[in-house]
């Protein structure tokens, strides 16, 4: 069964970077993105992800509130909200995401996974 990750971020550059990196890194995983909490909730209704990675600061609904809403869902997906350190240097962000993902996903580290 294919795994599914949803990335939620209002910022096009951040969202695109993370989606691209995850797509290159994770094997047999579909990576989808949403620009807001409401779009994320709609996407989750269509297909429940295994993991939601969300930015902490968003205008409409922040990542913490999104995580709270997800927790109330039956069979809630795992959720990680990135805080102020979201703008870490890319390699540090990659290392933190890798630590979160390795126990749950088949990770393939190769040249394509390096941003």
The CATH number assigned to the domain holding 46 equals: 3.40.50.2300
The token duo for 92 is 């540090």
How many domains is the chain partitioned into structurally?
1
Q: How far is Cα 114 from Cα 91, in angstroms, rounded to an integer? A: 8
Handedness of CA 31, 53, 78, 48 (dihedral sign): negative
Residue 81 has pLDDT above 80, yes or no: no
- The residue-averaged pLDDT of 43-68 equals 88
Provide the whole-model pTM: 0.77
Residue 113 has pLDDT above 50, yes or no: no
Residue 110 has pLDDT above 60, yes or no: no
Higher pLDDT, 95 or 29: 29
Query: Could you list the residue range(s) of the whole structural domain that residue 43 is in?
Result: 3-113
Residue 102 has pLDDT above 50, yes or no: yes
Biggest CA–CA distance in the chain, Å, is 39
Say if residues 3 and 107 touch (Cβ distance below 8 Å).
no
- The residue-averaged pLDDT of 64-77 equals 88
Q: How far is Cα 31 from Cα 51, in angstroms, rounded to an integer? A: 10
């Amino acid at each position: 069964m294919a795994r599914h990750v949803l990335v939620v971020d209002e910022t096009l550059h951040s969202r695109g970077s993370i989606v691209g990196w995850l797509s290159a890194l994770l094997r047999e995983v579909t990576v989808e993105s949403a620009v807001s909490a409401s779009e994320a909730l709609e996407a989750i209704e269509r297909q429940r992800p295994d993991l939601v990675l969300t930015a902490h600061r968003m205008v409409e609904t922040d990542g913490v509130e999104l995580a709270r809403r997800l927790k109330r869902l039956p069979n809630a997906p795992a959720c990680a909200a990135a805080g102020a350190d979201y703008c870490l240097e890319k390699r540090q962000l990659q290392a933190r995401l890798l630590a979160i993902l390795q126990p749950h996903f088949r990770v393939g580290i190769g040249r394509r996974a390096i941003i």
